[in-house]
Amino acid sequence: MPTDRNTPLDRLIGARSGKKFAEQLGIATAGDLLDHFPRRYLTRGELTPIRELPLDEDVTLVAQVVSSSNRRMTSRKGSITEVLVSDRPGQTNGPSTLSLTFFNGYQAAKQLTRGVIAMFSGKVGLYRGKLQLTNPIYELLDPDEFDAEAAARMAGRPIPVYPATASIPSWTIAKAVGTVLGQLDLDSLPEALPPDIRLKYRLPRVADAYRMIHDPEDDGAWRSAQRRFRYEEALVLQTALARRKAQHAALPSRPSPARRGGLLEAFDRQLPFELTAGQQEVGEVLARELAENHPMNRLLQGEVGSGKTVVALRAMLQVVDDGGQAALLAPTEVLAAQHYASIRATLGPLVRDGLLGAGEDGVEVAVLTGSQSAGEKKRSLLAAASGQAGIVVGTHALLSEHVQFADLGLVVVDEQHRFGVEQRDALRAKSLATPHLLVMTATPIPRTVAMTVFGDLETSVLRELPAGRSPIATHTVGLVENPAWERRIWQRAREEVDAGRQVYVVCPTIGEGAGDEGDLDALDRATWGGTSLAAAPAPAPEVQPASVTEVAEQLGGEPELEGVRIGVLHGRLDTDAKATAMRAFAAGETGILVATTVVEVGVDVPNATLMVILDADRFGIAQLHQLRGRVGRGGHAGTCLLVTRLEPGHPSRERLGAVSASTDGFELAQKDLEFRREGDILGASQSGRRSTLRLLRVLRDGDVIASAREDALALVAEDPDLDGHVALADAIDDYLGPEKEVFLERG
């Protein structure tokens, strides 16, 4: 049988090696290995003989370890590893030897043992009159190939450096790749890129690209190959999204054209404010799409307080005017209750109460949550199933099987990241025709991320905040450099309370009990689009993060706060306690609310003006930005204090600086992206599989993604089933696999 992509690797490199590759690198076939791209190339010019080393220059040399020793440093903590190398076999001292020094070079101490051959790169320095390299980077080389001829060949060509493990070094991988390249007929590999596209961007053919990425003649070769694979990745992804979008758009849905003289018009007449230009614009788009007989599929982004809910409510009323129903899904009970209350309040006289049966020209609003009494639930279920309720607000409870709708025309999902695909589909399944879908998120998503993660949704953005919103002043408070500020914070809280305002104190954890990770629900999922982007680098582990229970207790005994009533809110309270805490704070009965990130999303107490976030370094940028949006909503200026116990200059404090310096959510989202490892955008990094983006980087490759998207949309428009692009269709199946299909379904 000829070798192809699917040939098991052990047939080519032996059972033992094959097993190791499969277990440690997840590489099982020839194709897997071909797709295991070098992570970098050693290209630092010619190899320099040790005896000719120039001082103060960057050099690369190949040498063999003669001896190695390890000693503790006397003046500070740590160790020094000294390695003597020679590039003249047999010479162990003299002009062909060189000393390498590694500070805390644990790995070097382990790997660079006598007889080992490696390529070293670094800057030549002088120590006690002798040349040496300090902390050079190095790659272990195959001892069998250490001869003059191999060194010379390597000198001229870039050397690929593969992602490796301790027992499968880069050169072993390179060797295996060489074997595969030698056996496989590269020219028989299917070409996923359409020829016109390949020509348009001058990308190498697939066979050439594999050769160029694994065994490049020069730097230009691997660069060109990377360009091809990067573009291919973007095209595969975008074509998958475009196809999904097209398929979805072809489904039938219930058209709900705007009606004259209906609830929507009455609602607009009674609105106490003017819609912002953005709200009007988005409103028109939604009105148009709801009128079509194919489903709307739209993501609405807008900062907290930008007025998304009003926009959504108007869309719901258009559907209700047409005799349909709308469902609003909230991520938590607190939020569902709040949406229910605020929708009723906003609708005012337009709410019709089922029981009282007042008037015909109104809409009945029902709420369904897991914690309702059986009787309440039954009433809501009936209202939804009979069609009596035009608007049904709820949590996940809405998704359970026995919830039926008479005629569900629109699903609005608030803060989409808490909802997975199954849930979205469960709601859709409740209707014969596919309901229109509006997803709302307060977390700004950089354009290229949106294109990648939400490529199958159309996006709208509300950029401006309604007039009259006060800006939020944000300050980083470093307790290390200024411990006295702790007292000052509580004085500040006192001043707010005395002025009749209220204060949030946010803690990373709940407290009480080990293994407490705070409100995971909120903490881990404050994200852009379902990918866990909020996770902050872990700070010093010995510092216990502030917990709600302890801080509440501490504040109770704080002299500055004597007489101030303190409430507590976190995810482990039962529903009643949560509701009571929220109600007391909303009513101004408690001056200070100590809470976890449950206050992050949507909670609305306009009288709150100060937010103190303790151990703020535990939170991600997006999350901090959302949190502070809770204050300054009522026309009084808001202040947010980001309190940290990290040293000045600690990398995690950079994020606090960024949040203090900007109130522009989109700018912060971009920053956030720059701070984190980008490969994680598509999730699955924790699985350790090679299922994340390979070469494509969402931030760096924005242009590539944008062009690929354009190409993909055109391609799918012309050939929806990809009948004429079989290799591309196969590449999509291959690339996505079952796991990645999931992210495509997000939103």
To ligand ADP, the closest distance from the beta carbon of 469 in angstroms equals 8
306 binds, among ligand ADP, Mg ion, none (CB under 5 to 8 A by kind): ligand ADP
According to CB under 6 A, which one of 283, 295, 305, 390 is a site residue for ligand ADP? Answer: 305
**How many binding residues for ligand ADP (CB under 6 A)?**
14
Residue 441 binding result from Mg ion, ligand ADP, none, given CB thresholds of 5 to 8 Å by partner type? none
Task: Work out what residue 641 binds among Mg ion, ligand ADP, none; the CB cut-off runs from 5 to 8 Å by kind.
Answer: none
Q: Is 223 helix (H, G, I), strand (E, B) or coil?
A: helix
Structure tokens at 176: 């295996």
| Binding flag, residue 665, ligand ADP (CB under 6 A) | no
Q: Of these, 309, 338, 547, 707, which contacts ligand ADP (CB under 6 A)?
A: 309
Among the residue ranges 65-73, 301-309, 387-395, 523-531, the one whose residues contact Mg ion (CB under 5 A): 301-309
In the complex with ligand ADP, which residue's Cβ is closer, 18 or 302? 302
Residue 307 in contact with Mg ion, rule: CB under 5 A: no
279: contact with ligand ADP by CB under 6 A: yes
Only segment of 134-142, 297-305, 589-597, 684-692 that touches ligand ADP (CB under 6 A) = 297-305
306 lies in the site for ligand ADP, by CB under 6 A: yes
| 112 CB burial (10 A radius; 0-12, 13-18, 19+) | buried
Measured from the CB atom, the residue of 170 and 306 that comes closer to ligand ADP is 306
367 CB contacts (<8 Å, ≥6 apart)? 336, 337, 340, 380, 392, 393, 394
CA–CA gap between residue 80 and residue 101 (Å, rounded): 7
Question: Which one of the spans 306-314, 396-404, 586-594, 627-635 is the region binding Mg ion (CB under 5 A)?
Answer: 306-314
Between β-strands 117-127 and 137-140, what pairing exists: parallel, antiparallel or unpaired? antiparallel
Which is closer to Mg ion, CB of 309 or CB of 325? 309
User: Would you call 466 helix, strand, or coil by DSSP?
Assistant: coil
Considering only CA atoms, give the Rg of the chain: 31
**DSSP tally for the chain: helices H, then strands E:** 25, 21
Instruction: For residues 504 and 592, give the distance between their C-alpha atoms in angstroms, rounded to a whole number.
Output: 6
d(CA 72, CA 108): 15
Binder of ligand ADP out of 105, 302, 518, 638 (CB under 6 A): 302
Asked whether the beta carbons of 624 and 613 are under 8 A apart, the reply is yes
Q: Are 253 and 434 in contact (CB under 8 A)?
A: yes
Q: Which residues pair with 125 in a beta bridge?
A: 132
Binding to ligand ADP (CB under 6 A) within 433-492 occurs at 466
Kindly state whether residue 283 participates in binding ligand ADP, applying the rule CB under 6 A.
no
Task: Give the residue with the Cβ less far from Mg ion, 601 or 732.
Answer: 601
Q: Which does 466 bind (CB under 5 to 8 A by kind): ligand ADP, Mg ion, none?
A: ligand ADP
Does residue 331 interact with ligand ADP by CB under 6 A?
no
Distance CA 627, CA 603 (A): 10
End-to-end CA distance of the chain: 45
Q: Is there binding between residue 307 and ligand ADP (CB under 6 A)?
A: yes
Query: Which of 209, 310, 334, 551 is close enough to bind ligand ADP by CB under 6 A?
Result: 310
The region, left, alpha or beta by phi > 0 then psi within -120 to 50, assigned to residue 651 is alpha
Q: Which of 48, 309, 395, 431 binds Mg ion (CB under 5 A)?
A: 309
Inter-residue contact 50 to 61 (CB < 8 Å): yes
**Residue 64 is a binding residue for Mg ion (CB under 5 A):** no
| Span from 133-141, 301-309, 531-539, 583-591 in contact with ligand ADP (CB under 6 A) | 301-309
Q: Which stretch binds ligand ADP (CB under 6 A): 50-58, 227-235, 273-281, 329-337?
A: 273-281
Contacts of 363-367 with C-beta under 8 Å, sequence gap 24+, read: 363/263, 363/317, 363/320, 363/390, 363/391, 364/388, 364/389, 364/390, 364/391, 365/340, 365/389, 365/390, 365/391, 365/392, 365/393, 366/391, 366/392, 366/393, 367/336, 367/337, 367/340, 367/392, 367/393, 367/394
Question: Per-residue x/- mask for ligand ADP, residues 78 to 117, rule CB under 6 A?
Answer: ----------------------------------------
Q: Which is nearer to ligand ADP, 605 or 704 (CB)?
A: 605
The Cα–Cα gap between 497 and 592 comes to 8
Name which of ligand ADP, Mg ion, none residue 571 binds, using a CB cut-off of 5 to 8 Å depending on partner kind. Answer: none
Binding to Mg ion (CB under 5 A) within 589-628 occurs at 602
User: 275 contacts which partner out of ligand ADP, Mg ion, none, CB within 5 to 8 A by kind?
Assistant: ligand ADP
Give the footprint of ligand ADP on residues 387-416 (CB under 6 A). Answer: none
Could you tell me which residues come within 8 angstroms of residue 279 by beta carbon, excluding any fewer than 6 positions away?
Answer: 307, 310, 311, 462
Cross-strand partners of 407: none
- Count CA within 13 A, CB hemisphere, residue 463: 5
Applying CB under 6 A, among 29, 48, 276, 596 the residue interacting with ligand ADP is 276
CB of 637 to ligand ADP, least distance (A): 16
Q: Does 302 bind Mg ion (CB under 5 A)?
A: no
d(CA 344, CA 132): 76
* Contacting residues toward Mg ion, per CB under 5 A: 309, 602
* Contacting residues toward ligand ADP, per CB under 6 A: 273-276, 279, 302, 304-310, 466
